[in-house]
Chain A
Amino acid sequence: MDENPATAPLPGDGPLDGDPGLQPERTALAWGRTVLTLIAASAMSLRWIPDQGPFVLAMFGLTVATGTGIYATQRRRYRRSVEGIRAGHLTPDTAAVFWTAGACVVLGALGVCLVLS
């Protein structure tokens, strides 16, 4: 039995995520920060709209779509983490990791194309 009141389970259903380390919340916030950084990084390229309008908008569209996708699945992601910690078993989110890394590589490649054009 856990005697420490700070880490003892709450009455009823227990704490929201069953994890005093708040891992699901920290992970969801980390995804949120990443979306903000992604949008901010690509928004800088909007400076080139007068010269390369369609190309820049395509680049910005890619990151906005990726960011929207991540934000739209945040609730599902949080729930999945909570259930995973409760069950002691969580499958890694391979698709989200590779999609995000891929979007960053493409953003960089389009940036190089813009700089050298």
Chain B
Amino acid sequence: MSVPSTPPPPPGPDSRRSRFAEKLLPGGTEPDPRFTLANERTFLAWIRTSLALLAGGIAVEAFTTDVFPEPIRRGLSVLLLLLGMLLSAGSAVRWLRVEASLRSNRPLPLPLIGPLLAAGCAVAAAVVIAVVVLA
């Protein structure tokens, strides 16, 4: 993303912010609006990723009755649902941390939910492979 061309907003507390926002994101100044919107879209991309995992978890339980034995099916479904829940909560936390970094002009935090997603998907895939190979 290019360097913002708009002038920085004036410092100081802003009466237009809600008390909720004031409490969660204290201090700093409002960043370039385009960065705030980009952060929001990144959050939404993470949320859609977590929704895909939730949908996968629901689908495994709902549609694979004849494919997987019951304990495997339930385990896989719960694993995907828990991963989706963790990722949903984590994406909100990440959104907040990025927004706080933008407000105080600090470097952006590393996405901890990235490794979480990779590890969770690897475990789920390993379970499916094991079931297919051992079946």
Contacts and interface: CB of A to CB of B under 8 A. Distances in A.
Interface of A: 19, 21, 23-24, 26-27, 30-31, 33-34, 37-38, 40-42, 44-45, 47-48, 81, 84-85, 87-95, 97-98, 100-102, 104-105, 107-109, 111-112, 114-116
B131 interface: no
B66 to A, nearest CB: 14
21 contacts: A27-B40, A27-B41, A31-B44, A37-B48, A41-B58, A48-B62, A81-B33, A88-B6, A95-B20, A100-B44, A101-B43, A104-B47, A105-B88, A107-B54, A112-B78, A112-B85, A114-B61, A115-B57, A115-B74, A115-B81, A116-B74
Interface of B: 6-9, 14, 16-18, 20-21, 24-25, 30, 32-34, 36-41, 43-45, 47-48, 50-52, 54-55, 57-59, 61-63, 74, 77-78, 81-82, 84-85, 88-89, 91-92, 95, 99
A34 B44 contact: yes
A37 B51 contact: yes
Contacts of B84: 104, 108
A33 B9 contact: no
A112 B41 CA distance: 28
A85 to B, nearest CB: 5
A110 B7 CA distance: 46
A25 to B, nearest CB: 10
Given A33-B48, A37-B51, A23 B37 contact: yes
A98 B40 CA distance: 11
